[in-house]
Amino acid sequence: MAYQVIARKWRPQKFSDMVGQEHIARTLKNAIISDRIAQAYLFVGPRGIGKTTSARIFAKALNCEHPEDGEPCCKCSSCLAIAEERSVNVIEIDAATHTQVDKAREICEEVIHLPIGAKYKIYIIDEVHMLSKSAWNALLKTIEEPPAHAKFIFATTEVNKVLPTVISRCQRFDLRRIPTNLIADRLELIAKTENVAISRAAIDVIARAADGGMRDAQSLLDQMISFFCTGCGNTGSITEEQALSLFGLTAPADMYSLVQALLMNIPRNVIASIHNFSIAGKNLEILFDEILSWLRGVMMCAILKNPESVIEENPDRIELFRKLAAEAAPGVPQRLLEQYSSTGYLLRESINKQIFIETLLLKGMRLAHAPQVSDLIARLNYIRKTGELAPLEAVPSFEQVPAVPIVNIQPVSVQTAPMPPPPVPVQPEEKQPAPAAEVPVPQEEIPVEEVPVPQEEIPVEDVPVPQEEIPVEDIPVPQEEVPVEDIPVPQEEIPVEDIPVSQEEIPVEDIPVPQEEIPVEDIPVPQEEIPVEDVPVPQEEIPVEDIPVPQEESAPENEASNAEDDSEDSGDDNGDDEFGEPDFDVPPPVREKSVRELMDEVKDNPMVQEAVDLFGGKLTDVYVNN
């Protein structure tokens, strides 16, 4: 007979053989006993916990000829045919292989046929989340209203991918992960039956590495037996160290030292432990998961009196957790878990995992062992109760210190009243000065905080303006110095005849001359025409060589040619452009006068001489418009 692996050889054949799924077994047995069989069932859960096994046991129980309290007898022809996988009434389909709609249509066509020599025709479809949407749509009506002899059992590890319309047509059963101690007990039974020498500590390592899956645990046990060749001339048993070296796990003693260093804040021991694990070839990702598991166990032992109900570990491991919880400060395991669990996923993406895990562990230790606010408050309360703060009790608290009144002085906005029109200048009459006794003088100084401050701004137009003139001597003089820029300037105009004029003549050479040149465009040009006879003539004689000589009129014989030229350029002489339109940019024609005539006209004008002396120029040519 061919060799059969432990996982298939030790597959449960009854509901009572199932481990860790008692709630599923009890429900299905009661349904068979009471004959309340649904048309479809959906088994959900992670890998290796018994979904397909539960479906097969349930199919055997439905078609069993002699059921015993809801259990299959495993002796009739139907039970033996199902166990040997040769029954024509139990059809197992792998949905990962048949994902198309054609297989679903084939099922819909075959489901109408009656079973052969059995009560029900059962379809077991594994990994149903792999079916396409069209295949599910083809099965919906058949699943909801199948023939009386047809039953459907679905199994999946990813129920979130199954259509909600399919789930609503099925009875859903959620299978749980199998506890570690139950897996260890079943492995120990298998080892004894198979005559395999293995220690209980090694079995615990295998159960812990299986992560809640019975099939994984049985496969690991089969691997251990093959690796160490137990039973074939090797008289020794499989030890814990061998199991740890095979699966990359850490021994409890080494983990105890590492977790103790984390809880007691000893960085050098943490670094040394990580270095030794890295040299030994340990998987640092698995090591980090083990650190989290140990810290959780320590925290549970510090919180609960009976942590066995929530910790799936053997009693020896739980005792180590209790010792660490007794040595650690309260709250430290929880703070370490908060730091590590929130950043542990980054370890899988890091390039150098050793450096990353060392940095992560040291950072978590620094934050977990830092002084906490609650500890400081508790210490202060203890000191106060013991009387060490008695001298400080005499110091009034902040609430007992009287508050200093705060005076909010708002700035007063002063509006300047419009100045009245200047009065007609009238010669004031001489009045006797008012006696000093009539001037009001404040007798006592009024505190600033008692001065009433107006809260609202007074419009300018509402300020009363005195209509009568107040004598200057009756105006009260302020005691404080008034800035110069705040002294009002009288707006009334002073008559010209009242301005004193000096009687003496100022020499021309004493008149200041500006040093900088004034641009020509900035010199104001008078808008009215000045008569020629009013133009001042400079007194200074102009050298003859600087006088321009006017052009004499051309001879009479050239008049004809000039007339022709004038006719040709008539447009320019008349002030017209090339299109015959008047050109306003061309200046009007001017008549040139002789220098002698101009000198005679302006020589008696002193303003011309003053202008020449002021600007330092020379009068050479004068052009006067007609």
Beta strands in 67-198 (DSSP E): 90-94, 121-126, 150-156, 171-174
Q: Is residue 347 part of a domain?
A: yes
Averaged pLDDT for residues 52-73: 91
Q: Is residue 532 part of a domain?
A: no
Q: Are residues 192 and 214 located together in one domain of the fold?
A: yes
Q: Is residue 36 part of a domain?
A: yes
Alpha helices, DSSP H, located in 523-587: 559-568, 570-573
Q: Is residue 542 part of a domain?
A: no
Residue 438 has pLDDT above 50, yes or no: no
Averaged pLDDT for residues 469-477: 55
> What pLDDT does residue 437 have?
45
Mean residue pLDDT of the chain comes to 76
Condensed to tens digits (0 to 9), the pLDDT of residues 178-205 reads 988 899 999 999 999 988 888 888 898 8
CA–CA gap between residue 216 and residue 224 (Å, rounded): 12
Averaged pLDDT for residues 101-107: 89
Averaged pLDDT for residues 274-293: 90
Chain-centroid distance of CA 391 in Å reads: 49
Averaged pLDDT for residues 447-460: 52
Averaged pLDDT for residues 522-536: 56
Give the whole-number percent of the chain exceeding pLDDT 70.
Answer: 63
Condensed to tens digits (0 to 9), the pLDDT of residues 223-246 reads 888 887 655 555 568 888 888 888
Q: Are residues 198 and 283 located together in one domain of the fold?
A: no
Q: Are residues 271 and 242 located together in one domain of the fold?
A: no
What pairs with residue 122 in β-bridges? 90, 151
Identify the residue with better confidence: 533 or 324: 324
> What pLDDT does residue 555 have?
45
pLDDT band of residue 379 (cuts 50, 70, 90) is: confident
Residue 394 has pLDDT above 70, yes or no: no
Q: Are residues 147 and 287 located together in one domain of the fold?
A: no
Is 116 in contact with 88 (CB distance < 8 Å)? yes
Q: Where is average pLDDT lowest: 8-12, 32-36, 526-530, 587-591?
A: 526-530
Residue 218 has pLDDT above 80, yes or no: yes
Closest residue by Cα to residue 220 from 184, 250, 179, 176: 184
CA–CA gap between residue 585 and residue 90 (Å, rounded): 116
End-to-end CA distance of the chain: 144
Q: Are residues 202 and 252 located together in one domain of the fold?
A: no
Phi-psi region of 387 (alpha: psi -120 to 50; beta: other; left: phi over 0): left
Q: Is residue 436 part of a domain?
A: no
Task: Choose one of 194, 215, 247: the last residue of a domain.
Answer: 247
- DSSP-derived secondary structure for 329-383: PTTHHHHHHHHHHHHGGGGGG-SSHHHHHHHHHHHHHHHHSSPPHHHHHHHHHHH
Averaged pLDDT for residues 73-77: 89
Is 26 in contact with 14 (CB distance < 8 Å)? no
Closest residue by Cα to residue 259 from 194, 196, 328, 202: 328
Under DSSP, is residue 412 helix (H, G, I), strand (E, B) or coil? coil
Q: Are residues 31 and 133 located together in one domain of the fold?
A: yes
Q: Is residue 335 part of a domain?
A: yes
> What pLDDT does residue 473 have?
58
Q: Where is average pLDDT lowest: 27-31, 340-344, 370-374, 456-460?
A: 456-460
Q: Are residues 278 and 311 located together in one domain of the fold?
A: yes
Query: Total structural domains in the chain?
Result: 4
CA–CA gap between residue 326 and residue 334 (Å, rounded): 14
Q: Are residues 291 and 202 located together in one domain of the fold?
A: no
Is 247 in contact with 283 (CB distance < 8 Å)? no
Q: Which two tokens stand for residue 116?
A: 């052969």
Residue 287 has pLDDT above 80, yes or no: yes
H helix or E strand, kind and range, residue 164: helix 164-167
Max mean pLDDT among 170-184, 303-317, 536-550, 572-586 falls in 170-184
Identify the residue with better confidence: 464 or 66: 66
Q: Which two tokens stand for residue 123?
A: 């379809």
Q: Are residues 84 and 225 located together in one domain of the fold?
A: no
Residues whose CB is less than 8 angstroms from the CB of residue 609 and which lie 6 or more positions away in sequence, other chains included: 536, 537, 538, 539, 540
Residue 489 has pLDDT above 50, yes or no: yes
pLDDT band of residue 505 (cuts 50, 70, 90) is: low
pLDDT band of residue 320 (cuts 50, 70, 90) is: very high
Is 200 in contact with 239 (CB distance < 8 Å)? no
Averaged pLDDT for residues 597-626: 64
Cβ burial, residue 535 (10 Å; 0-12/13-18/19+): middle
Q: What is the 3-state secondary structure (H, E, C) of 61-79?
A: HHHCCCCECCECCCCCHHH
Q: Which two tokens stand for residue 217?
A: 């645990």
Q: Is residue 560 part of a domain?
A: no
> What pLDDT does residue 416 have?
54
Residue 136 has pLDDT above 70, yes or no: yes
Q: Are residues 81 and 172 located together in one domain of the fold?
A: yes
Distances (CA, A) of 260 to 250, 328, 369, 376: 15, 8, 13, 25
Domain span including residue 625 = 590-626
pLDDT band of residue 560 (cuts 50, 70, 90) is: very low
Residue type at 446 in one-letter notation = I
Identify the residue with better confidence: 342 or 384: 342
Averaged pLDDT for residues 456-465: 53
Max mean pLDDT among 362-371, 416-425, 560-569, 590-599 falls in 362-371
Averaged pLDDT for residues 279-297: 90
Beta-sheet strand order (sheet of 90-94) = 90-94, 121-126, 150-156, 40-44, 171-174
Distances (CA, A) of 297 to 209, 322, 328, 335, 499: 17, 8, 13, 14, 109
Q: Are residues 67 and 144 located together in one domain of the fold?
A: yes
Distances (CA, A) of 347 to 116, 277, 579: 57, 16, 92
CA–CA gap between residue 127 and residue 582 (Å, rounded): 103
Q: Where is average pLDDT lowest: 84-93, 120-129, 243-252?
A: 243-252
Q: Are residues 115 and 185 located together in one domain of the fold?
A: no
Task: Choose one of 320, 341, 371: the last residue of a domain.
Answer: 371
Task: Choose one of 371, 403, 424: the last residue of a domain.
Answer: 371
CA angle, 56 as apex, 51 and 57 as ends, to 5°?
A: 100
pLDDT band of residue 622 (cuts 50, 70, 90) is: very low
pTM of the predicted protein model: 0.57
User: Which domain CATH number covers 279?
Assistant: 1.20.272.10
Q: Is residue 440 part of a domain?
A: no
CA–CA gap between residue 609 and residue 537 (Å, rounded): 7
